[in-house]
Amino acid sequence: MSLFISFEGIEGSGKTTQIKLLATRLENQGYEVLITREPGGCPIADQIRHILLHPDNDRLVPGAELLLYAAARAQHVAEVIIPALQQDKIVLCDRYCDATLAYQGYARGLDLQLVQQLNELAAGTCRPHLTLLLDMHPDQGLNRAQNRNAVAAGPDEGRFEQESLVFHNKVRQGYLDLARLEPHRIKVIDATGTHEQVAMRIWNTISGFLGLARRA
């Protein structure tokens, strides 16, 4: 079954955890699943990810940031997402084009039409069939993210956690505005509560969507 599902949300909203839980549940249902992420997902895009997320790169200007996201996405779509969909896999992607609109458009203040044009240039017609927006208040999400980064063993990717609460409130509002514009695709999920509670909310949405897909 070829299906593209993206996960969106502010820092610390639990996207990575919920993607893993959903992948396991879908695989138990007999689906073939690919987990990927943005920025990154393939070697070239992962190198761009390091530039975008490392805290030392706090002088990166919004225009350069936007172009780097577009470059990483173009490589990721061509190398990872499209081939997986052609192999009839369910692709679960941690962030996609909506993230660029929310962060670089709504929060950074770049022209939304320009951001959308670059998204289209990078992704072409490869759009998610369904987007799950994990929503919570930014102060709670930032606290989670900062605690996670403090114990993380991998590369330092906390550049956006250094942004102000005002910035993250703009990101959240941008996401909610996008959800209002595309309610058929973007489903808002309450990301508060236990992992199991959030996973059940997601599964209820996914199972309904899969049922509709099977009847189509």
Buried b (16+ CB within 10 A) or exposed e, 26-41: beeeeeebbbbbbbbb
Phi/psi of residue 194, each to 5°? -75, 165
Domains of the chain, earliest start first = 3-215 (3.40.50.300)
Overall size of the chain counted in residues: 216
pLDDT digits (tens, 9 = 90+) for 140-195: 988 877 777 666 656 788 899 999 999 999 999 999 999 999 999 999 999 999 99
E strand or H helix that includes residue 52: helix 43-53
- pLDDT at position 88 is 96
pLDDT digits (tens, 9 = 90+) for 42-95: 999 999 999 999 999 999 999 999 999 999 999 999 999 999 999 999 999 999
SS3 (DSSP) at 183: coil
Is pTM, for the whole model, over 0.75?
yes
pLDDT digits (tens, 9 = 90+) for 13-35: 999 999 999 999 999 999 999 99
Determine the number of helices (DSSP H) and then strands (DSSP E) in the chain: 9, 5
Q: What is the DSSP letter of 89?
A: P
Token couple for 63 = 């225009």
Phi/psi of residue 189, each to 5°? -115, 125
- Going across the sheet that includes 90-94, the strands are 33-37, 90-94, 3-9, 130-135, 186-190
User: Cα 158 from chain centroid?
Assistant: 16
Separation CA 19–CA 37 (nearest Å)? 10
Separation CA 88–CA 148 (nearest Å)? 34
